[in-house]
Amino acid sequence: MDEKEIKTETAPSSELLENELIRVRYGERYKKLLKNTIGSLLVVAAISILIATLFLPVLEIHGNSMNPTLESKDIVVSVKTSQLKRGDICCMYYNNHILVKRVIGVAGDVIEMDEAGNVFVNGTLLDEPYVQVKALGECDIEFPYTVPERSVFVLGDNRSSSVDSRNELIGSISLDEIVGKIVFRVWPIPSFGGI
């Protein structure tokens, strides 16, 4: 008769059971913490996108019509508003593009420009330290020009290459087409700050 070996399983020690219980509980806490962290990050991201879309649009500048104030590849933050005053830099919709220009006149203002590129608002020469070279540029509107109600008259700071309210195709910009007022530059880092 063959002898069969009888195997006996020994019960795990209480220390081993306790370590396993700690490991399982740690895993559950880790999963819960990870789930809560990811949920919180998604909520923060959604709120950030909502705020950026509705209240603080972030834009990248393309072209040189606002040189030297803003240059191509600058990244700026704007505030959604249609309350604009002379001198503000605003962004607006035009032909499925966003243009960035400076407000020169508001509703009711009478704008004039001479051949040398000097701008007069309501008969007063406009002080424009932000313009390096004055130019009449591509102008096909008749001066004096009165800015219509609920509109603004805008010009680029680089007058010789800017397409703006001096062109009949663009003309005065309705306040309904205004995206916002540019208030801050975030890129490039050396130019970081208010505008």
Nearest to 147 by CA among 97, 89, 84: 84
Is-catalytic flag, 14? no
SS3 for 9-33, per residue? CCCCCHHHHHHHHHHHHHHHHHHHH
Catalytic one among 14, 82, 101, 174?
101
Choose the catalytic residue: 65, 78, 151, 162. Answer: 65
Cβ atoms 70, 82 nearer than 8 A: no
Catalytic residue flag (residue 35): no
Q: How many of the other CB atoms lie within 10 Å of CB of 179? A: 19
Rg (CA), the chain: 32
Residues belonging to the active site: 65, 101
